[in-house]
């Protein structure tokens, strides 16, 4: 089975303007592509994703299509910038919309997201990457995703600095190494879960 990875860029910057978050997301997806994974991505801020916690918030809501693409993939890459030490408001909206998965657990205790892997990617110009990663991974695990071993790839610039990740002439080695590790471990875990799915806990 060919694995699919779906990237969700939660930048606040509308396309087609350059985005540091997109640059890091592209690197993670490229590393997965090199391992034979089909990849796709979206810049969420360009779409009308309504506030709410249901699977469909009505006319004009673009979340149902994103949800379908998410569930068609075996790997989710959730990429966000840091603002005020927090994930972006777009990332938080994505997580809020995933709350609907908790209402879709079947009578055997299986979540719709069981067997899917989630990776976070974080960029910013202030400290807080570990805090943001912790928030994302806790929420993603709550709604049924499995998190691979290894730290999430992230880049943070100098405190109160003005350099963005997209402006770097080259990617720092430690960031590039973490990208490869995250991609490799996510692909491996997704392959394992396809061959050995989670049991129905209430069976």
| Tens digits of residue pLDDT in 138-189 | 999 999 999 999 989 999 998 888 899 999 999 999 999 999 999 999 999 9
pLDDT of 127: 84
CA distance 5 to 118: 9
pLDDT of 125: 84
**CATH code of residue 154:** 3.40.50.360
User: What global pTM score does this model have?
Assistant: 0.96
* Closest to 178 in 3D by CA, of 6, 28, 39, 74: 28
Domain of 138 in residue numbering reads as 4-195
| Tens digits of residue pLDDT in 111-140 | 999 999 999 999 998 889 999 999 999 999
| Residue 28 near residue 175, CB atoms below 8 Å | no
Sequence-separated contacts (24+) of 52-55 with Cβ below 8 Å: 52/96, 52/97, 53/96, 53/97, 53/99, 53/100, 54/100, 55/97, 55/100, 55/104
> Is residue 203 in some structural domain?
no
> Is residue 201 in some structural domain?
no
pLDDT of 158: 86
Structure tokens at 123: 């960029």
What integer best gives the mean pLDDT of the chain? Answer: 96
> Is residue 9 in some structural domain?
yes
| Tens digits of residue pLDDT in 61-116 | 999 999 999 999 999 999 999 999 999 999 999 999 999 999 999 999 999 999 99
Pairing of strands 86-87, 75-83: antiparallel
pLDDT of 102: 97
> Is residue 79 in some structural domain?
yes
> Is residue 73 in some structural domain?
yes
Domain count, the chain: 1
Residues 6+ apart with CB under 8 A from 130: none
> Is residue 35 in some structural domain?
yes
> Is residue 128 in some structural domain?
yes
> Is residue 104 in some structural domain?
yes
| Residue 166 near residue 17, CB atoms below 8 Å | no
């Amino acid at each position: 089975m060919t694995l699919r990875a779906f990237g969700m860029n939660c930048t606040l910057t509308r396309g087609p303007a350059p985005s540091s978050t997109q640059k890091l997301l592209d690197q993670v997806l490229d590393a997965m592509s090199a391992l034979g994974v089909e990849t796709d991505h979206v810049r969420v801020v360009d779409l009308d994703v309504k506030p709410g916690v249901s699977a469909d918030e009505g006319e004009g809501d673009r979340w149902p299509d994103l949800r379908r693409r998410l569930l068609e993939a075996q790997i989710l890459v959730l990429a966000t910038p840091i603002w005020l030490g927090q994930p972006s408001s777009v990332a938080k909206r994505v997580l809020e919309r995933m709350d609907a998965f908790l209402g879709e657990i079947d009578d055997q205790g299986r979540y719709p997201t069981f067997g899917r892997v989630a990776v976070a990617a974080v960029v910013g110009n202030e400290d807080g990457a570990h805090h943001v990663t912790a928030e994302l991974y806790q929420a993603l695990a709550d709604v049924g995703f499995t998190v691979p071993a290894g730290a999430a790839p992230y880049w943070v610039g100098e405190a109160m600095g003005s350099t963005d990740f997209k402006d770097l002439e080259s990617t720092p080695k430690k960031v590039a190494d973490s990208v490869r590790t995250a991609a490799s471990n996510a692909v491996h875990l997704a392959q394992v879960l396809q061959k050995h799915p989670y049991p129905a806990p209430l069976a």
